Amino acid sequence: DVKVTQSSRYLVKRTGEKVFLECVQDMDHENMFWYRQDPGLGLRLIYFSYDVKMKEKGDIPEGYSVSREKKERFSLILESASTNQTSMYLCASSFWQDYGYTFGSGTRLTVV
Amino acid sequence: AQSVTQPDIHITVSEGASLELRCNYSYGATPYLFWYVQSPGQGLQLLLKYFSGDTLVQGIKGFEAEFKRSQSSFNLRKPSVHWSDAAEYFCAVGVDSGGYNKLIFGAGTRLAVHP
């Protein structure tokens, strides 16, 4: 069964901490995405990557960065966590030019 | 700018009743349209998609959706709802952004099912 695995389901961090959210896929997908999900706002794209060491900004990249050193792994980094980054974070992957995304189960991050 | 609107934030139906979830999109080119479902504590699962051809598309779990270009709509329907259909539903449009594809999602509709 194909999978997108997010390393943590729940995470609590303090304001100002550097936070790493990890995502691994086992489908040899070229594309990987990080979305943020908030009530009433749906999913908003933070960053995406179409190849190793390649990244593109999504719609809300401020306060975030990403890293893709290997094809299967895509990391979202909060350089200095703030309370307004408390949210559900969803990782997804797909083949090149394919809109059929596979999503992970999400990481619910709380910044206190 | 591309966007997706789901006018209903919450919908409650009785088990066995029919269901229609509304979705309107804004996109200049031919749209690729999707419906995803998210059960509590889970990621999103693809229900169905429309790329071209027949405007009535069938999906998993007995769902269907109809693309109406004149109304810029892609409404999701099910003739008889089951209690297990209680979830949040997201409509999305696939767009070409500088040669890359990406999905733009609506805000979601939360469905509650009464016994």
Could you report the per-residue pLDDT of B25-73, keeping only the tens digit for each? 998 777 899 999 999 878 899 999 998 888 999 999 999 999 999 999 9
What count of CB pairs under 8 Å joins A to B?
56
Instruction: Give chain B positions within 8 Å (CB) of A56.
Output: 98, 100
**What tokens appear for B39 in the block?**
């059960």
Q: How many whole angstroms separate alpha carbon A31 and alpha carbon A12?
A: 28
Partner-chain contact B107 A104, CB within 8 Å: no
A1 touches chain B (CB under 8 A): no
In this complex, the residue of B34, B41, B108 whose CB is nearest that of residue A42 is B108
Instruction: Give chain A positions within 8 Å (CB) of B105.
Output: 35, 42-44
Q: How many whole angstroms separate alpha carbon B100 and alpha carbon A10?
A: 31
- Share the mean pLDDT of chain B: 92
What 8-state DSSP symbol labels residue B79? S
Supply the pLDDT for residue A1.
65
Supply the pLDDT for residue B91.
96
* Chain B residue whose CA is closest to A47: B102
Mind listing the pLDDT tens digit for each residue in A19-47?
999 999 999 999 999 999 998 899 999 99
Confidence band (pLDDT; 50, 70, 90) for B20? very high
Instruction: Give chain B positions within 8 Å (CB) of A92.
Output: 43-44
Mind listing the pLDDT tens digit for each residue in A72-107?
999 999 999 999 999 999 999 998 777 788 999 999
Task: Say if domain B3-114 classifies as CATH 2.60.40.10.
Answer: yes
Supply the pLDDT for residue B96.
80
Instruction: Give chain A positions within 8 Å (CB) of B46.
Output: 100-101
Cite the beta strand spans of B23-82 per DSSP E: 24-26, 32-38, 44-50, 56-58, 64-68, 73-78
Percent of chain B scoring above 90 in pLDDT: 77
In this complex, the residue of B6, B103, B108 whose CB is nearest that of residue A101 is B103
Q: How many whole angstroms separate alpha carbon B103 and alpha carbon B106?
A: 10
B101 touches chain A (CB under 8 A): yes
Partner-chain contact B46 A41, CB within 8 Å: no
Domains delineated in chain A: 4-111 (2.60.40.10)
Supply the pLDDT for residue A2.
63
Higher pLDDT, A97 or B75: B75
Q: How many whole angstroms separate alpha carbon B16 and alpha carbon B61?
A: 14
pLDDT at B97 over 90: no
